[in-house]
Amino acid sequence: MDTIARYLSLHVENMTGAVVRVADRPLGSLMTILVIAIALAVPAGLRVMVDNARALSGTWQGAADFTVYLEMAVDDPAAEDLALQIRQRNDVERAELLDRSDALVEFRAYSGFGEALDLLAENPLPHAIIVRPAGTSADLDQLVEDLDALEETALVQLDTEWLERLRAILELARRVVDVTTVLLGLAVIVVIGNTIRLEIGNRREEIEIIKLVGGSDGYIRRPFLYLGLCYGVGAGILAALIIVLGLGLVASPARALMELYGSDYRLAGLSLADMAWLLGVGGFLGWAGAGIAVARHLREIEPS
Protein backbone atom coordinates (compact mmCIF):
# COMPACT_ATOMS: atom_id res chain seq x y z
CA MET A 1 0.00 0.00 0.00
CA ASP A 2 2.67 2.40 1.13
CA THR A 3 4.87 1.57 -1.85
CA ILE A 4 2.03 2.22 -4.24
CA ALA A 5 1.28 5.54 -2.57
CA ARG A 6 4.92 6.51 -2.85
CA TYR A 7 5.04 5.41 -6.46
CA LEU A 8 1.97 7.47 -7.23
CA SER A 9 3.35 10.50 -5.43
CA LEU A 10 6.50 10.10 -7.52
CA HIS A 11 4.38 10.14 -10.65
CA VAL A 12 2.45 13.18 -9.58
CA GLU A 13 5.71 14.88 -8.74
CA ASN A 14 7.06 14.12 -12.22
CA MET A 15 3.91 15.28 -13.90
CA THR A 16 3.85 18.59 -12.06
CA GLY A 17 7.58 18.81 -12.73
CA ALA A 18 6.91 18.52 -16.48
CA VAL A 19 4.16 21.12 -16.37
CA VAL A 20 6.41 23.40 -14.35
CA ARG A 21 9.15 22.95 -16.92
CA VAL A 22 6.75 23.85 -19.75
CA ALA A 23 5.54 26.86 -17.82
CA ASP A 24 9.03 27.78 -16.75
CA ARG A 25 10.22 28.72 -20.20
CA PRO A 26 6.91 29.93 -21.54
CA LEU A 27 8.16 31.17 -24.89
CA GLY A 28 10.29 28.21 -25.88
CA SER A 29 7.66 25.69 -24.86
CA LEU A 30 4.92 27.70 -26.52
CA MET A 31 6.92 27.66 -29.76
CA THR A 32 7.25 23.90 -29.64
CA ILE A 33 3.58 23.52 -28.87
CA LEU A 34 2.71 25.93 -31.66
CA VAL A 35 4.60 23.90 -34.25
CA ILE A 36 2.98 20.69 -33.17
CA ALA A 37 -0.40 22.39 -33.10
CA ILE A 38 0.03 23.62 -36.66
CA ALA A 39 1.08 20.18 -37.80
CA LEU A 40 -2.06 18.76 -36.18
CA ALA A 41 -4.35 21.55 -37.31
CA VAL A 42 -3.54 21.53 -41.02
CA PRO A 43 -4.61 17.96 -41.81
CA ALA A 44 -7.50 18.09 -39.34
CA GLY A 45 -8.69 21.36 -40.85
CA LEU A 46 -8.39 20.07 -44.42
CA ARG A 47 -10.30 16.98 -43.36
CA VAL A 48 -13.11 19.10 -41.96
CA MET A 49 -13.28 20.93 -45.29
CA VAL A 50 -13.44 17.75 -47.31
CA ASP A 51 -16.08 16.30 -44.99
CA ASN A 52 -18.09 19.46 -45.46
CA ALA A 53 -17.79 19.17 -49.22
CA ARG A 54 -19.00 15.59 -49.05
CA ALA A 55 -21.98 16.42 -46.90
CA LEU A 56 -22.77 19.25 -49.27
CA SER A 57 -22.56 17.02 -52.34
CA GLY A 58 -25.04 14.76 -50.58
CA THR A 59 -27.59 17.56 -50.39
CA TRP A 60 -27.13 18.42 -54.06
CA GLN A 61 -28.40 15.22 -55.43
CA GLY A 62 -30.09 12.23 -53.84
CA ALA A 63 -29.18 8.74 -54.83
CA ALA A 64 -28.37 8.08 -58.44
CA ASP A 65 -31.88 8.46 -59.83
CA PHE A 66 -32.15 7.86 -63.54
CA THR A 67 -34.72 8.66 -66.19
CA VAL A 68 -36.53 6.37 -68.60
CA TYR A 69 -37.83 8.32 -71.61
CA LEU A 70 -40.78 6.68 -73.30
CA GLU A 71 -41.63 6.73 -76.98
CA MET A 72 -43.62 9.81 -78.08
CA ALA A 73 -46.40 7.44 -79.02
CA VAL A 74 -46.99 6.18 -75.46
CA ASP A 75 -50.07 7.85 -74.05
CA ASP A 76 -50.92 8.80 -70.46
CA PRO A 77 -52.67 5.61 -69.18
CA ALA A 78 -50.02 3.34 -70.72
CA ALA A 79 -47.29 5.42 -69.13
CA GLU A 80 -48.93 5.25 -65.72
CA ASP A 81 -49.31 1.54 -66.06
CA LEU A 82 -45.66 1.13 -66.87
CA ALA A 83 -44.60 3.24 -63.89
CA LEU A 84 -46.62 0.99 -61.59
CA GLN A 85 -45.03 -2.08 -63.12
CA ILE A 86 -41.52 -0.74 -62.61
CA ARG A 87 -42.30 0.32 -59.06
CA GLN A 88 -43.08 -3.28 -58.15
CA ARG A 89 -39.65 -4.60 -59.06
CA ASN A 90 -37.40 -5.67 -56.17
CA ASP A 91 -34.48 -3.63 -57.33
CA VAL A 92 -36.45 -0.43 -57.53
CA GLU A 93 -37.06 1.76 -54.56
CA ARG A 94 -39.24 4.29 -56.26
CA ALA A 95 -40.53 4.99 -59.73
CA GLU A 96 -42.47 8.08 -60.60
CA LEU A 97 -44.09 9.10 -63.78
CA LEU A 98 -43.07 12.50 -65.00
CA ASP A 99 -45.82 13.83 -67.16
CA ARG A 100 -44.78 15.43 -70.51
CA SER A 101 -45.76 18.87 -69.29
CA ASP A 102 -44.22 18.31 -65.85
CA ALA A 103 -41.11 17.06 -67.58
CA LEU A 104 -40.72 20.27 -69.50
CA VAL A 105 -40.84 22.24 -66.24
CA GLU A 106 -38.31 19.90 -64.68
CA PHE A 107 -36.07 20.11 -67.71
CA ARG A 108 -36.15 23.87 -67.62
CA ALA A 109 -35.16 23.92 -63.98
CA TYR A 110 -32.25 21.51 -64.16
CA SER A 111 -30.79 21.77 -67.62
CA GLY A 112 -29.30 25.18 -67.18
CA PHE A 113 -30.78 26.03 -70.57
CA GLY A 114 -34.06 26.84 -68.99
CA GLU A 115 -34.99 30.09 -70.65
CA ALA A 116 -33.75 28.88 -73.99
CA LEU A 117 -36.53 26.27 -73.93
CA ASP A 118 -39.16 28.99 -73.86
CA LEU A 119 -38.25 29.51 -77.47
CA LEU A 120 -39.43 26.05 -78.41
CA ALA A 121 -42.53 25.97 -80.60
CA GLU A 122 -44.15 23.04 -78.79
CA ASN A 123 -43.40 20.62 -75.99
CA PRO A 124 -40.88 18.32 -77.57
CA LEU A 125 -40.62 15.99 -74.58
CA PRO A 126 -42.06 12.53 -74.20
CA HIS A 127 -43.29 11.02 -70.93
CA ALA A 128 -40.55 9.97 -68.58
CA ILE A 129 -40.31 7.76 -65.53
CA ILE A 130 -37.81 8.64 -62.83
CA VAL A 131 -36.46 5.54 -61.16
CA ARG A 132 -34.55 5.29 -57.90
CA PRO A 133 -32.78 1.93 -57.78
CA ALA A 134 -32.66 -0.05 -54.55
CA GLY A 135 -29.74 -2.42 -55.04
CA THR A 136 -26.06 -2.19 -55.60
CA SER A 137 -24.44 -0.81 -58.72
CA ALA A 138 -24.21 -4.36 -60.12
CA ASP A 139 -27.97 -4.74 -59.79
CA LEU A 140 -28.27 -1.32 -61.40
CA ASP A 141 -26.72 -2.51 -64.66
CA GLN A 142 -29.24 -5.34 -64.86
CA LEU A 143 -32.13 -2.99 -64.08
CA VAL A 144 -31.08 -0.53 -66.77
CA GLU A 145 -30.75 -3.32 -69.28
CA ASP A 146 -34.23 -4.66 -68.43
CA LEU A 147 -35.89 -1.27 -68.70
CA ASP A 148 -34.10 -0.49 -71.93
CA ALA A 149 -35.48 -3.70 -73.38
CA LEU A 150 -39.10 -2.66 -72.81
CA GLU A 151 -40.81 -1.75 -76.07
CA GLU A 152 -42.25 1.49 -74.65
CA THR A 153 -38.81 2.70 -73.75
CA ALA A 154 -37.14 5.15 -76.10
CA LEU A 155 -34.05 5.85 -73.97
CA VAL A 156 -32.67 5.21 -70.50
CA GLN A 157 -30.51 8.01 -69.31
CA LEU A 158 -28.26 7.80 -66.29
CA ASP A 159 -27.63 11.41 -65.45
CA THR A 160 -24.81 10.82 -63.06
CA GLU A 161 -22.06 12.65 -64.87
CA TRP A 162 -22.10 15.72 -62.67
CA LEU A 163 -22.20 13.61 -59.54
CA GLU A 164 -19.37 11.50 -60.82
CA ARG A 165 -17.28 14.57 -61.52
CA LEU A 166 -17.89 15.84 -58.05
CA ARG A 167 -17.06 12.50 -56.52
CA ALA A 168 -13.84 12.38 -58.51
CA ILE A 169 -12.88 15.85 -57.32
CA LEU A 170 -13.63 14.91 -53.73
CA GLU A 171 -11.75 11.66 -54.13
CA LEU A 172 -8.77 13.63 -55.35
CA ALA A 173 -9.07 16.11 -52.50
CA ARG A 174 -9.33 13.26 -50.02
CA ARG A 175 -6.19 11.70 -51.44
CA VAL A 176 -4.32 14.99 -51.15
CA VAL A 177 -5.48 15.35 -47.56
CA ASP A 178 -4.37 11.79 -46.81
CA VAL A 179 -0.88 12.47 -48.11
CA THR A 180 -0.82 15.68 -46.09
CA THR A 181 -2.03 13.90 -42.97
CA VAL A 182 0.64 11.23 -43.16
CA LEU A 183 3.35 13.83 -43.79
CA LEU A 184 2.28 16.08 -40.96
CA GLY A 185 1.60 13.23 -38.54
CA LEU A 186 5.18 12.18 -39.20
CA ALA A 187 6.23 15.77 -38.64
CA VAL A 188 4.52 15.82 -35.24
CA ILE A 189 6.38 12.73 -34.06
CA VAL A 190 9.65 14.07 -35.40
CA VAL A 191 9.16 17.51 -33.87
CA ILE A 192 8.37 16.05 -30.48
CA GLY A 193 11.13 13.48 -30.74
CA ASN A 194 13.56 16.18 -31.81
CA THR A 195 12.54 18.55 -29.06
CA ILE A 196 12.87 15.85 -26.45
CA ARG A 197 16.22 14.82 -27.95
CA LEU A 198 17.58 18.33 -27.66
CA GLU A 199 15.96 18.65 -24.26
CA ILE A 200 17.82 15.51 -23.23
CA GLY A 201 21.00 17.03 -24.62
CA ASN A 202 20.34 20.16 -22.59
CA ARG A 203 19.91 18.03 -19.49
CA ARG A 204 22.83 15.77 -20.24
CA GLU A 205 24.62 16.82 -17.08
CA GLU A 206 21.54 16.35 -14.98
CA ILE A 207 20.99 12.88 -16.40
CA GLU A 208 24.59 11.94 -15.76
CA ILE A 209 24.38 13.11 -12.19
CA ILE A 210 21.14 11.29 -11.53
CA LYS A 211 22.66 8.12 -12.95
CA LEU A 212 25.68 8.62 -10.73
CA VAL A 213 23.65 8.82 -7.55
CA GLY A 214 21.68 5.71 -8.47
CA GLY A 215 18.65 6.93 -10.41
CA SER A 216 17.17 4.16 -12.56
CA ASP A 217 16.43 4.57 -16.27
CA GLY A 218 12.72 4.69 -15.47
CA TYR A 219 13.23 7.50 -13.02
CA ILE A 220 15.11 9.49 -15.64
CA ARG A 221 12.71 8.64 -18.44
CA ARG A 222 9.48 9.61 -16.71
CA PRO A 223 9.72 13.41 -16.74
CA PHE A 224 10.54 13.37 -20.44
CA LEU A 225 7.52 11.24 -21.23
CA TYR A 226 5.31 13.60 -19.26
CA LEU A 227 6.91 16.52 -21.02
CA GLY A 228 6.07 14.95 -24.39
CA LEU A 229 2.53 14.33 -23.20
CA CYS A 230 2.19 17.94 -22.07
CA TYR A 231 3.44 19.17 -25.43
CA GLY A 232 1.03 16.90 -27.28
CA VAL A 233 -2.06 17.74 -25.24
CA GLY A 234 -1.23 21.45 -25.26
CA ALA A 235 -0.78 21.27 -29.02
CA GLY A 236 -4.12 19.47 -29.39
CA ILE A 237 -5.89 22.29 -27.60
CA LEU A 238 -4.12 24.93 -29.64
CA ALA A 239 -4.82 23.01 -32.86
CA ALA A 240 -8.54 23.09 -32.14
CA LEU A 241 -8.25 26.84 -31.71
CA ILE A 242 -6.33 27.23 -34.97
CA ILE A 243 -8.92 25.20 -36.86
CA VAL A 244 -11.76 27.31 -35.50
CA LEU A 245 -9.90 30.45 -36.56
CA GLY A 246 -8.93 28.95 -39.93
CA LEU A 247 -12.52 27.94 -40.66
CA GLY A 248 -13.48 31.51 -39.89
CA LEU A 249 -11.07 32.69 -42.56
CA VAL A 250 -12.50 30.42 -45.28
CA ALA A 251 -16.11 30.85 -44.17
CA SER A 252 -16.83 33.79 -46.46
CA PRO A 253 -15.77 32.23 -49.79
CA ALA A 254 -17.47 29.03 -48.65
CA ARG A 255 -20.70 30.92 -48.13
CA ALA A 256 -20.32 32.48 -51.58
CA LEU A 257 -20.04 28.99 -52.99
CA MET A 258 -23.13 27.83 -51.12
CA GLU A 259 -25.09 30.74 -52.50
CA LEU A 260 -24.12 29.83 -56.04
CA TYR A 261 -25.80 26.52 -55.49
CA GLY A 262 -28.73 28.17 -53.82
CA SER A 263 -27.95 25.91 -50.90
CA ASP A 264 -28.66 26.81 -47.31
CA TYR A 265 -26.05 24.29 -46.20
CA ARG A 266 -24.12 25.61 -43.23
CA LEU A 267 -20.40 24.86 -42.87
CA ALA A 268 -19.95 22.33 -40.09
CA GLY A 269 -17.29 23.32 -37.55
CA LEU A 270 -15.27 21.18 -35.19
CA SER A 271 -17.44 18.94 -33.07
CA LEU A 272 -16.66 18.18 -29.43
CA ALA A 273 -15.80 14.65 -30.49
CA ASP A 274 -13.33 16.00 -33.06
CA MET A 275 -11.71 18.09 -30.35
CA ALA A 276 -11.43 15.12 -28.04
CA TRP A 277 -9.84 13.26 -30.94
CA LEU A 278 -7.32 16.02 -31.50
CA LEU A 279 -6.38 16.02 -27.81
CA GLY A 280 -6.09 12.26 -27.81
CA VAL A 281 -4.02 12.09 -30.96
CA GLY A 282 -1.84 14.97 -29.76
CA GLY A 283 -1.27 13.36 -26.40
CA PHE A 284 -0.53 9.98 -27.94
CA LEU A 285 1.89 11.35 -30.53
CA GLY A 286 3.57 13.43 -27.82
CA TRP A 287 4.04 10.44 -25.57
CA ALA A 288 5.19 8.25 -28.46
CA GLY A 289 7.64 10.81 -29.84
CA ALA A 290 9.11 11.35 -26.40
CA GLY A 291 9.32 7.62 -25.84
CA ILE A 292 11.20 7.08 -29.08
CA ALA A 293 13.61 9.92 -28.39
CA VAL A 294 14.22 8.84 -24.82
CA ALA A 295 14.80 5.23 -25.79
CA ARG A 296 17.27 6.29 -28.45
CA HIS A 297 19.24 8.88 -26.55
CA LEU A 298 19.13 8.01 -22.88
CA ARG A 299 21.49 5.08 -23.21
CA GLU A 300 24.04 7.24 -24.97
CA ILE A 301 24.48 9.37 -21.89
CA GLU A 302 26.70 7.59 -19.43
CA PRO A 303 28.73 9.28 -16.75
CA SER A 304 32.47 9.20 -17.27
Partner 1 sequence: MIRFENVRKRYPAGREALRGVSFRLERGEMAFLTGPSGAGKSTLLKLVALIERPTRGTVLVASQNTARVPRRRIPQFRRQIGIVFQDHKLLHDRTVFDNVALPLMISSLRRRELRGRVRAALDQVGLLRYENQFPLSLSSGEQQRVGIARAVASRPQLVIADEPTGNLDPGLSLEIMRLFGRFNDVGTTVLIATHDLELISRMGYRRLYLEAGSMAGPAAVPG
Residues that bind partner 1 (CB under 8 A): 6-7, 10, 205-206, 208-217, 219, 302-304
Q: What is the DSSP string of 133-158?
A: E-S-HHHHHHHHHHHHHSTTEEEEE-
Name the amino acid, one letter, at 265.
Y
If one asks whether residue 285 binds a copy of itself (CB under 8 A), the answer comes out as no
Per-residue x/- track, 64-103, a copy of itself (CB under 8 A): ---x-x--x-------------------------------
Among 6, 59, 62, 261, binds a copy of itself (CB under 8 A): 261
Which is nearer to a copy of itself, 19 or 53 (by Cβ)? Answer: 53
Q: How far is the CB of 259 from a copy of itself (least distance, A)?
A: 9
Rounded Cα–Cα distance for residues 135 and 143 (Å)? 9
Whole-angstrom Cα distance, residue 224 to residue 187? 19
Distance CA 129, CA 150 (A): 13
Residue type present at position 301 = I
**Percentages of the chain per state (helix, strand, coil), in multiples of 5:** 70, 10, 20
Number of residues that bind a copy of itself (CB under 8 A): 70
Q: Tell me which of a copy of itself, partner 1, none is bound by residue 262, counting a contact when its beta carbon lies within the kind-specific cut-off of 5 to 8 angstroms.
A: none
Q: Tell me the per-residue interface mask from 115 to 154 with a copy of itself, x by CB under 8 A, - otherwise.
A: xx-xxxxx-xxx---------------------------x
Nearer to a copy of itself, 2 or 264 (CB): 264
Are the C-beta atoms of 153 and 70 separated by less than 8 Å? yes
Instruction: Report strand pairing: 128-133 vs 66-70.
Output: antiparallel
DSSP annotation of 299 reads T
Per residue, the 3-state secondary structure of 69-129, as one string, reads EECCCCCHHHHHHHHHHHHCCCCEEEEEEECHHHHHHHHHHHHCCHHHHCCCCCCCCCCEE
Candidates 3-11, 213-221, 244-252, 278-286 — which segment interacts with a copy of itself by CB under 8 A? 244-252
Cα–Cα dist 232/290, whole Å: 10
Residue 210 touches which of a copy of itself, partner 1, none (CB < 5 to 8 A by kind)?
partner 1
What residue ranges bind a copy of itself (CB under 8 A)? 28, 31-32, 34-35, 38-39, 41-42, 45-46, 49, 67, 69, 72, 107, 111-113, 115-116, 118-122, 124-126, 154-155, 157, 159, 161-162, 164-165, 168-169, 171-172, 175-176, 179-180, 183-184, 186-187, 190-191, 193-195, 197-199, 201-202, 204, 242, 246, 249-250, 253-254, 256-257, 260-261
